[in-house]
Structure 1
Amino acid sequence: MKIYQANIVPLNADIIGSAAHGSALFVVNGDQLVVTIEMFDTPANQQHWEHFHGFPDGQTAQIATAAQDVNHDGFVDLPETEPVSGTTMVPFNDTPETMDIPNDAYPVADANGYFAYTKIVPLKQLDAEFKKAFHDSDLELDKRVIYIHGVANSLDLPATVAGEVANYDAHVTLPIAVGKINAVTLD
C-alpha cells in the first residue's frame, strides 16, 4: 500500500471572498486508487472542478502563489499556474479513470462551501489512459499538485483572466486552492 496526502491551501482568496482549504488523501492499494478530498470555505452552492496537475517529463510540480500573477491583474489564473505546476492531468470527478476533464460531473459545495469527495478508481484503466495522454508517463503522485477550481458566475473577472476550456469560462477554471501531494508511506 502507498499513501499520499496534500494539505490544500487557499489561492486567490482575497479577491474571491473565500479562503478555500482542505485536504486530500490518495491510497494506492493493489489495483485501486482511493481518492478522498474534503474542502471547506469554497464558493457555496456550486460545482468545483478538481484535478492533479504536473509535468509529463517527471519534473516535480510546485504550488502556484501570488508570484505567478505575471500580468498583475490580481488573479492567478489557470494558464499562470502552468510554469510551476504543469498541465491539468487527472480529474477528480465521477470517472477519473476516463480522464474526461471538461464536464459537469464534479463535486458541488453546499450552502456553507463544504464538500467531500471519495472515489475508488480502477488503477489499471487510469494508468493506461494516463500513459496514452502523457506519452508513457507514470502517475508519480508525489511529483504532482492538486488544484480546486471555480468561482461564482457573479464574480466580476477582468478580461485578462484566462482559462477557458471547451465550453467553460474562467469562472469554472479559476484556481481557488492548491496543495502539494506528498508521499506518506511507501511499500
Structure 2
Amino acid sequence: MTKFKANIVPLNAEKIGHKAHGTATFEIDDNQLTINIEMHDTPANIQHWEHFHGFPDGHQAEIATMDQDQNGDGFVDLPETEPVSGTTMVPFNDEPAKMDIPNDEYPVSDANGDFSYTRVVPLDQLEENFKKAFSDSNLELDKRVVYIHGIPTDVNLPGSVAGEVGPYDAHVTLPIAVGKIEKA
C-alpha cells in the first residue's frame, strides 16, 4: 500500500472570514485509490468543490499563497493559482474517475462548516481517463496540490475576481484552502 497526505491550510481567509483547514489522505492498494478528506471551518451549509491541481508535464505543483494575488484585489482567485499550482485535474466529487469537473456532486458542509469526503476509486479507470485528458500524463500524486473551493453567494466579490467555469461563477471556484500532497 502506498500512502499520501496533504495538510490543508487556509487561503483567502482574511477576506472570507473562515480559516478552512483539514487533511486529505490518498491510499493506493491494488487497483483502488481511497480518497479521504476532512475539512473544518469552511463556509457552512454550501457545496465545496475540491480537486487536485497540477501540471500535465509532471512539473512540481506548489500551493498558492497571498503572493499570487497579481491584481492586488486582496483575493487569490482560481486563475491566479495556475502559475504555481497548474490546472484543475481530478475532482473529488461523487465519481472522481469520470473526471467531470463542473457539476453539483461535491460535498456540502454542515452548519459548523465541517465535512468529510471518502471515495474508493478504481485506479485503472481513473488512470485511463487521466491519460486521455492530459496527454498520457501519470497521476503522480506527490507532484499535486489539493484545493478546496467555495464561498456563499452573498459574499460581495470585486469584479476583478475571476474563475467562471461554465455556469458556475467565482463564488463556487474561489479557493478557500490548499495543501501539498506528499508521500506519507
Using structure 2 for the length normalisation, give the TM-score. 1.00
The answer to whether structure 1 residue 38 and structure 2 residue 38 are counterparts is yes
Give percent identity, aligned residues only: 70
SS in 2 for 1:179: strand
User: Matches of 2:32 and 2:168 in 1, distance apart?
Assistant: 30
The answer to whether structure 1 residue 53 and structure 2 residue 53 are counterparts is yes
Which amino acid counterpart does residue 159 of structure 1 have in structure 2?
G
Aligned to 2:7: 7
SS in 2 for 1:102: coil
Structure 1: runs of 5 or more not aligned: none
Q: CA deviation at 1:96?
A: 0.1
User: Matches of 1:11 and 1:116 in 2, distance apart?
Assistant: 19
User: Matches of 1:155 and 1:20 in 2, distance apart?
Assistant: 16
1:122-181 CA distances to partner (integer Å, 9 max, x unpaired)?
100000000000000000000000000000000000000000001100000000000000
Aligned to 1:176: 176
Question: For the aligned residues, what is the CA RMSD?
Answer: 0.3
1:70-119 CA distances to partner (integer Å, 9 max, x unpaired)?
00000000000000000000000000000000000000000000000000
User: Matches of 1:155 and 1:30 in 2, distance apart?
Assistant: 44
Q: CA deviation at 1:61?
A: 0.2
SS in 1 for 2:36: strand
User: Matches of 1:47 and 1:136 in 2, distance apart?
Assistant: 31
1:52-79 CA distances to partner (integer Å, 9 max, x unpaired)?
0000000000000000000000000000
Runs of 4+ deviating beyond 3 Å: none
User: Matches of 2:158 and 2:122 in 1, distance apart?
Assistant: 40
Which amino acid counterpart does residue 122 of structure 1 have in structure 2?
P
Aligned residues: 184
User: Matches of 1:180 and 1:116 in 2, distance apart?
Assistant: 19
Aligned to 1:165: 165
Aligned to 1:121: 121
Aligned to 2:90: 90
Structure 2: runs of 5 or more not aligned: none
Note the 1:16-165 alignment, pairs <5 A.
16-165=16-165
Using structure 1 for the length normalisation, give the TM-score. 0.98
Q: CA deviation at 1:21?
A: 0.1
Which amino acid counterpart does residue 32 of structure 2 have in structure 1?
Q
